[in-house]
């Protein structure tokens, strides 16, 4: 498995987890559920979102895709 494939897999997995956690937390919020106050519910989304952002930036670097540069990066 190439480096790109590994980082892309991490990126897509963390993307799925972030959406899943977001929907779950919104459901708990609407239900006024005490589950929302659990420690892991406040910690894990930050760790996951950091991994999502880091893998996204890594993919940009690996692909040499810089959207805000006019000149193509060598």
Report, in Å, the least distance between residue 14 CB and ligand HEM: 8
Shortest separation between residue 32's beta carbon and ligand HEM, angstroms = 26
CA 65 vs CA 39, 51, 62: distances in Å: 37, 19, 8
The contact set with ligand HEM (CB under 6 A) reads 8, 11-12, 15, 18, 52-53, 56-57, 59-60, 63, 65
Closest residue by beta carbon to ligand HEM: 56
One-character DSSP codes across 10-48: HHHHHHHHHHHHHHHHHHHHHTT-GGGG-HHHHHHHHHH
Q: How far is the CB of 65 from ligand HEM (least distance, A)?
A: 6
């Amino acid at each position: 498995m190439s480096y790109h494939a590994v980082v892309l897999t991490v990126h897509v997995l963390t993307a799925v987890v972030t959406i899943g956690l977001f929907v779950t937390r919104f459901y708990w919020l609407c239900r006024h559920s005490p589950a929302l106050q659990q420690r892991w519910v406040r910690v894990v989304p930050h760790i996951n979102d950091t991994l999502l952002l880091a893998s996204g930036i890594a993919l940009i670097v690996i692909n040499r895709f810089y959207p805000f540069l006019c000149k193509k990066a060598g």
